[in-house]
A and B are shown apart, each in its own frame.
Chain A
Amino acid sequence: MAGEVVIRAEALTKRYGATQAVDHIDIAVNAGEIVGILGPNGSGKTTTILMLLGLTEPTSGRALVAGFDPLREPLEVKRRVGYLPDQVGFYDGLSARDNLAYTGRLAGLSRPEIDERFTAALARVGLGDVGRARVATFSQGMRQRLGLAEILMKRPSVAILDEPTTALDPHSTQEFLEMIRRLKADGTAVLLSSHHLDQVQSVCDRVALFNRGRIVLAGTVTELAGRVLGGGHVIDVEVRGPGDATGVEQRLAALPGVVRVQTLGLGLGSQRYRVDCQSDLRAEIARRLASEVELIGLHFAAPSLNEVYNRYFEEARNVAQ
């Protein structure tokens, strides 16, 4: 049911000896919502996923997935959760059908259910004509789709996708992202771990940024931009004229509500700037620059998750130094 919380973690913690892999994280994901989890390698994303799946025990804290505790009722959790690991593996000597029939039997499906769901799932991921082919002949993109078909066969209430587009070409990536959107449309909650920030931004409703085992930022991209970039509104400005670049940058920075100005580079006889601000300042910018330079473009740009991510870790590094 949309709006119902299907993943909830409270103070979830995992320690390996002296290493704190996951440190008291809280997270909640609603049905029909796509939440991206981001962070550098070793920041605790995969460990969190494994704890939510019941594949590793938390040191402390509590999680509920689809209403069940992964620590005590991992079988019930796994019946309701589809999981796609990065670079998913299959038994190469078996056909796509036999591979999925095996996991279908493990999931407790009957033979008629497996047959029915297999055909529908394969058609949905665009592999309808290769069901009898051996997986050894599949490209990595086809394997990822087959992994998604396995999730669809299960008809889960939660799908956990761990870097699912890592090995895909741009076209396959777009198709895969579209399939993820359709999962959301089915009412499935999706937890998506990825290093491809543009992809995360394009499909996720909310994101959680991991660093050193903790969730350091969580919310919509606009909310995160508000907190990290200081504004939440991003305006791209393109000008041409006699004014020097430093002068334009200083004039923009002096406007009330402007948090940061970046010089993006030269266009064809023009200069481009990106302005982070707390509100829509397009009119003020136009007024300020109109008398001095020729204003070519003034675009309201969506805040970039990439910028949020880079800025956060830049500042984190500066603090550490």
Chain B
Amino acid sequence: MSRSESAARPDRRRLGSPWTGLGAVIAKETADHLSSARMRILEALVFLTAIAAAYAAIRSIRATIGESPFLFLRLLTFSQDPLPSFIALLGFLIPLVAIALSFDAINGEFNRRTMSRILAQPIYRDALLLGKFFAGLLALTIGLVSLWLLVLGLGLLLLGLPPSTEETVRMLGFLVATIAYGGVWLAVALLFSVVFRAPATAALAALGTWLLFALFWSVITPLIANLIAGPPEGVFGPRMEFLQAQTIIDRLSPNTLYAESALALLHPATRALGPVLISQLQGALLGAPLPASQSFILIWPQLTGLIAATIVIFVIAYIAFQRQEIRA
């Protein structure tokens, strides 16, 4: 475009803050989430299963109270048939809650015919979309913090011991990682709520994506790694190229990033994530716990990855929403 052409074009920059009305949207949407029957049912489900898992863990741990310096962390990772561990349950249920919170965030406004009425108020679309995302994240955070405090209280009550500072820091890190993991699924459901006009389609698409990563990703990754890096076994045993490719592909899944974060934070003895060469373990005291700061360094890429994935998916939803016609 020539300089004269660009000078002739009218200035289309919008004036006014894109955040105008953000607080009102967050307040209304959060209140809606916290008082909705859908949210109450899901929260009851999460609370009951997670508390049951923690209680079962406490009963077993009490018998071996002197064997571990990280009793509260074991509370979250210990599993006893038929119940899986607390973190496994959270890893399974948090995406469901997040999807339930936002699968009809945008298409619901169109279907209720409230979208044009709301956007005729002095706010930009930016504030509406961001407000809905933050409200979902806030509702999720309120639920998770309550659950975290409940488990902590249950542990205090039944174990008769307070958590150490190290344990508290690790548990807080785990809480942050769980919120970031929930954020990814919130953004995914929000994206589908922008793309699909029918809430049922959006919910199915989000659940399908979750099932892909939760159940089938571990089956698919070796196949893709095989295509990219060749067979898993070489003449001298497992091939490093294959393992590295498999790890990279595996980490495209938010479930993997979350599982690795939880592993490093709640199992202090975890010294590395991904393939490790024997030469790298020379001089290491196997089984000795890492300080919390080292574990945080270990999960930094995973945590950053979860937050980056949330931002990228939200931006895609934002662009799609900005391009939509508002006629309902």
Q: In whole angstroms, what is the CA distance A83 to B114 when docked?
A: 12
Given A89-B112, A106-B21, A75 and B117 touching (CB < 8 A)?
no
Establish whether residues B122 and A56, one from each chain, have CB atoms under 8 Å apart when the complex forms: no
Q: In whole angstroms, what is the CA distance A90 to B111 when docked?
A: 11
Establish whether residues B14 and A56, one from each chain, have CB atoms under 8 Å apart when the complex forms: no
Establish whether residues B117 and A72, one from each chain, have CB atoms under 8 Å apart when the complex forms: no
Q: Does B16 contact A (CB under 8 A)?
A: yes
Establish whether residues A56 and B326, one from each chain, have CB atoms under 8 Å apart when the complex forms: yes
Establish whether residues B116 and A79, one from each chain, have CB atoms under 8 Å apart when the complex forms: no
Establish whether residues B112 and A92, one from each chain, have CB atoms under 8 Å apart when the complex forms: yes
Establish whether residues B15 and A73, one from each chain, have CB atoms under 8 Å apart when the complex forms: yes
Establish whether residues B113 and A87, one from each chain, have CB atoms under 8 Å apart when the complex forms: yes
Q: In whole angstroms, what is the CA distance A75 to B20 when docked?
A: 9
Q: Contact string, A49-68, partner B, CB cutoff 8 A, digits 1/0?
A: 01001011100001000000
Establish whether residues A72 and B13, one from each chain, have CB atoms under 8 Å apart when the complex forms: yes
B14-41 interface (Cβ within 8 A of A): 14-16, 20-21, 24-25, 27-28, 32
Q: In whole angstroms, what is the CA distance A91 to B32 when docked?
A: 10
Residues of A within 8 A of B325 (CB): 50, 56
Q: Does B3 contact A (CB under 8 A)?
A: no
Q: Does B10 contact A (CB under 8 A)?
A: yes
Given A74-B14, A87-B113, A107 and B121 touching (CB < 8 A)?
yes
Q: Contact string, A17-61, partner B, CB cutoff 8 A, digits 1/0?
A: 000000000000000000000000000001000100101110000
Q: Does B81 contact A (CB under 8 A)?
A: no
Establish whether residues B122 and A83, one from each chain, have CB atoms under 8 Å apart when the complex forms: no
Q: Does A103 contact B (CB under 8 A)?
A: yes
Establish whether residues B116 and A62, one from each chain, have CB atoms under 8 Å apart when the complex forms: no
Count of chain A residues with a beta carbon within 8 Å of a chain B beta carbon = 34
Residues of B within 8 A of A108 (CB): 20-21, 122
Q: Does B120 contact A (CB under 8 A)?
A: yes
Select one of A53, A75, A92 contacting B123, CB under 8 A: A75
Q: Does B248 contact A (CB under 8 A)?
A: no
Establish whether residues A83 and B12, one from each chain, have CB atoms under 8 Å apart when the complex forms: no
Residues of B within 8 A of A106 (CB): 21, 24-25, 118, 121-123
Residues of B within 8 A of A81 (CB): 120
Q: In whole angstroms, what is the CA distance A82 to B32 when docked?
A: 25
Q: In whole angstroms, what is the CA distance A83 to B112 when docked?
A: 16
Residues of A within 8 A of B113 (CB): 85, 87-89
Q: In whole angstroms, what is the CA distance A75 to B119 when docked?
A: 10
Select one of A73, A92, A150 contacting B117, CB under 8 A: A150
Residues of A within 8 A of B119 (CB): 55
Listed A/B pairs (24) with beta-carbon separation below 8 Å? A46-B327, A53-B120, A55-B116, A56-B325, A56-B326, A57-B12, A72-B11, A72-B12, A73-B14, A74-B122, A76-B15, A78-B120, A85-B113, A85-B116, A85-B117, A90-B112, A91-B32, A91-B112, A92-B112, A103-B117, A103-B121, A105-B28, A106-B118, A107-B122
List the 7 shortest-distance A-B pairs measured between CB atoms, nearest first. A89-B113, A83-B120, A106-B121, A75-B16, A105-B24, A78-B122, A89-B114
Chain B residues engaging chain A, CB cutoff 8 angstroms: 10-16, 20-21, 24-25, 27-28, 32, 112-114, 116-124, 325-328
Chain A residues engaging chain B, CB cutoff 8 angstroms: 46, 50, 53, 55-57, 62, 71-76, 78-79, 81-83, 85, 87-93, 102-103, 105-108, 147, 150
